[in-house]
Amino acid sequence: MSNFYYTYILQSQKNNSLYIGYTSDLKKRFKQHNNGKNQSTKPFRPYKLIFYEAFLNRIDAKHREEYLKSGFGRRSINKMIEKYLNNI
């Protein structure tokens, strides 16, 4: 079975901000964020995983992360999880 690469969105439970990233080990990476191992997310812990996508290729996952961090990508995120974001 192939390994997957994941593009994911975390939401800070402290200030509702979103963090977008990609990884080959989603469970491990999520724990790292919540354990303060990432300097950019450490101040806004704890996090909740609110969205992820799986890819067969690392480059595809990285490109998706870059897209989601762009202006068009942010609008896509808002559309994909509109109902969720409206209820927070």
Q: CA-to-CA distance for 50 and 60, rounded, in angstroms?
A: 20
DSSP-assigned letter for residue 27: H
Q: Where residue 87 falls among pLDDT bands split at 50, 70, 90?
A: confident
CB 12 within 8 A of CB 44: yes
Between CA 9 and CA 4 the distance in angstroms is 16
- State the CATH number of the domain containing residue 49: 3.40.1440
Question: Which DSSP letter does residue 30 get?
Answer: H
CA gyration radius, the chain: 13
Mean pLDDT score, 66-85: 92
Q: Give the whole-angstrom CA distance, residue 47 versus residue 51.
A: 12
Overall average pLDDT of the 77-86 stretch: 89
- pLDDT at res. 86: 87
Farthest CA pair distance, the chain = 38
Domain residues for the domain of 31 are: 5-86
Count of domains observed in the chain = 1
Higher pLDDT, 50 or 1: 50
The number of residues in the chain equals 88
The confidence score (pLDDT) of residue 1 equals 53
